[in-house]
Amino acid sequence: MRLLMRFVERLLPAVACFALAGTAGAGTLADPADALASLREAAAYERARPVAPRVPRAQLLATPQVQAVAMSPDGTQLAWLRARRDRREVWVQALPDGAPRLALPRTQAEQVAWSRDGRWLFLPEPRQLAVLAMAGQRGAGQVAVLGGVTRRQFLWLDPTQPAAALLLERPARTAGAGQPWRLVRVGVGGEETILHEDLRRIVDAAVAGDGTLAWLLLAEGEGHALYRATDPSPRQPVLRCERMRRCVLLGVAPGGGLWLWSNVDGDRSALLHLDGQGRVQRRHEDPRGEADLFDVTLDPVDGRPLFVAYRSTVPQLFALEPGDETRLNAIERQRPGRALQVTPGRERWLVQERSDTLRGDRWWLADARGRLTEALADAAFTFDAKTHPRPDEAVMARKWPMRWTASDGHVLHGFVTLPAGMDVATAPMVVSVHGGPFGLVRPDFSNDAQLLANRGYVVFQPNFRGSTGLGRDYVLASRGDFGNGRVQRDIVEGTRWLLANGIGDASRVGIVGASFGGYSALLGATFQPELFRVAVAGVPPADFSFVLRDYLGAGQEMLPGIPMAVSMRHLGLDPMDDALAARLAEQSPTANARLLRRPVLIVAGGQDERVPIRGITDYAARLRTLDKDVSLFVDDQADHGIADEHSREAYYFLMETLLHRQLGGAEPEPASAALRQHLQRHLRLTGPSLAN
């Protein structure tokens, strides 16, 4: 099967509109009266539950050992990666009940992909493409390297060949002008075939059933252009995917057409069919009229689309074949309200399960009638070289989808997580803002929301305008107003509406976030101190205009072959717009440091490639000079993600401590000796609110 890229005032209650779904798959936006009733129903549901026991920090910091599970096309074998402290292993199992066995003790791959004939496992690693021979054939257990991929990108497995991969090869940095991009087929024996060369950036491709190249997607101008590879030169594009309209080629359709994952013909992305005459037809889109397409599952043999999924507001999975629909309905009756993903095989289906209360993935095998048996026993989670159980779902908080209408009439989406066994009207609230800003909170498990809800906080996660996954118009509606402007008002207005309708204590509200979310947290503490009493900001750009200018640098891309500066201009954030930069700088937390009167905790990485540390330390120094209550934690070796588990634990501990002292939530569990030492090394500034 093909592997696919997955793609910041006061509210007037009279104009607000809010909706909560009582179940993960419940209906559409209700009128204000029904919406308020749903909200109260959710609050009553949580209040009637027992107070949740404390979940240890380590259980929410631990990482799952089992990753990247894949089933062979015939449904007879399972393969997965098992993460160890210093390596990954490849494990395989014969289905339905074979014993798991170690197939490869060490790999750098982050995914595994079965060949079409089921005899090989492809292992794309950062610097090479490896292939592992499977049991039952000559050379079983041996690994072959199919060439370095320093200049090559693993695109997908060739669906027309028994065992071959398609790679994109870019020109060497030292190559002179006129060096082409290449689309290369590589077989398991190392044989290579160049399918296409082009001076333009090759973005995507689709191969016909006879193995010849059928369609090409090329970077051209400020977007992507789709061409028939069989048309004589000079070719004319069949479609243009421009101004944040995306096109992902899924495969050749009957009659020489093409299956597309795209929003080229409308607002939200959907499953499209392009016929031989270049006409586009929508074959499936979100019936709720809310979400972009999240995933498409293709038949592992003939490549036709079998399932489509949406997961921006509520999880939805649809079967496109009538026979598959019956089996899927049987599965959903056994796992109601869950986000499911299906990998079909001739013998059985592999079903991946996710949920707002389930940490990590759970895997099932479905027989022909849809009856489920667990494919893999609950795998261990590890933190600090220790094994930890999966948190008990019964004590996890529900993540309720919601909508509200902003003061300018724009309908917005988000989620609210309510602590169990509490009167949510008197509970402290934490607003948790996602990063990006072009990102999204989905109805999946959220470590931060679960930690905070478990400590007694209402957690509000807004998908403000500019968030992805809800259509192109939703993204573009931000119009670049990312200072103390429209986007920040979205967040503030959603918070005030919840408070006005009995969700959270208005005197105890904090705001947290990382990256753009950290920037929003600093804006909230600076410009809305009457609402937000404390802020926690991870890797925040204290001056968004400074970071925006960095997008002019060479090599940065949001879409393949399109300079970052071009994409940001299309999104309303033109790095060359001096007036925009001046407005963002004028409204920045840095320029308004004197206005801050709430405690702030900042966590930063010394090697951050996206938000330079000098901007954060300059802002923190200004606050300290102004005698503000600021604490600063810096992991010198961390990048924007701050992957070190001890630094992530320090972030949780410091956040819990500050919120406890300022908002009255639960006191954090004591720091271990190792954590205290880590804090001593990296806590550069300690404000009065965090001082012992």
Domains of the chain, with CATH numbers? 13-60+392-628+636-664+674-685 (3.40.50.1820)
Cα gap 460→99, rounded to integer Å: 44
Q: Where are the alpha helices (DSSP H) in 402-542?
A: 447-454, 472-476, 486-500, 516-527
What pLDDT shows up at residue 341? 96
Cα gap 279→260, rounded to integer Å: 12
What pLDDT shows up at residue 170? 87
User: Count of CB atoms within 10 A of residue 561's CB?
Assistant: 18
3-state class of 632 per DSSP? strand
User: Count of CB atoms within 10 A of residue 430's CB?
Assistant: 30
Do 445 and 356 form a contact (C-beta atoms < 8 A)?
Answer: yes
| Nearest of 118, 81, 77, 79 to residue 94 by alpha carbon | 77
Do 270 and 262 form a contact (C-beta atoms < 8 A)?
Answer: yes
Burial of 507-523, coded b for 16+ CB within 10 Å and e otherwise, reads: ebbbbbbbbbbbbbbbb
Sequence-distant (≥ 6) Cβ neighbours of residue 632 within 8 angstroms:
601, 602, 604, 616, 617, 620, 683, 684, 685
What pLDDT shows up at residue 6? 30
Which run of H or of E encompasses 581? Answer: helix 578-586
What pLDDT shows up at residue 149? 66
Strands 458-463 and 429-433 turn out to be parallel
Cα angle 484, 485, 486 (rounded to 5 degrees) comes to 145
| Nearest of 448, 438, 460 to residue 11 by alpha carbon | 460
Do 627 and 688 form a contact (C-beta atoms < 8 A)?
Answer: no
Question: Could you report the average pLDDT of every consecutive run of 10 residues in the chain (692 residues)?
Answer: 30 28 36 66 88 94 92 93 87 91 92 93 89 76 73 88 92 74 92 93 94 95 94 87 93 91 96 91 96 94 92 96 94 96 92 95 95 84 90 93 91 94 95 94 96 97 96 94 94 96 96 97 98 97 86 74 89 91 94 97 93 94 97 95 94 98 95 96 96 86
Tell whether the torsion through CA atoms of 433, 434, 440 and 444 is positive or negative: negative
Letter for the amino acid at 567? Answer: S
Do 619 and 590 form a contact (C-beta atoms < 8 A)?
Answer: yes
What pLDDT shows up at residue 686? 96
Do 508 and 533 form a contact (C-beta atoms < 8 A)?
Answer: yes
10 Å CB burial of residue 234 (0-12, 13-18, 19+) is exposed
The β-bridge partners of 148 are 128
Cα gap 62→81, rounded to integer Å: 17
Helix 447-454 to helix 645-663 angle (10° resolution) is 40
Please state the pTM of the whole predicted model: 0.92
What pLDDT shows up at residue 618? 95
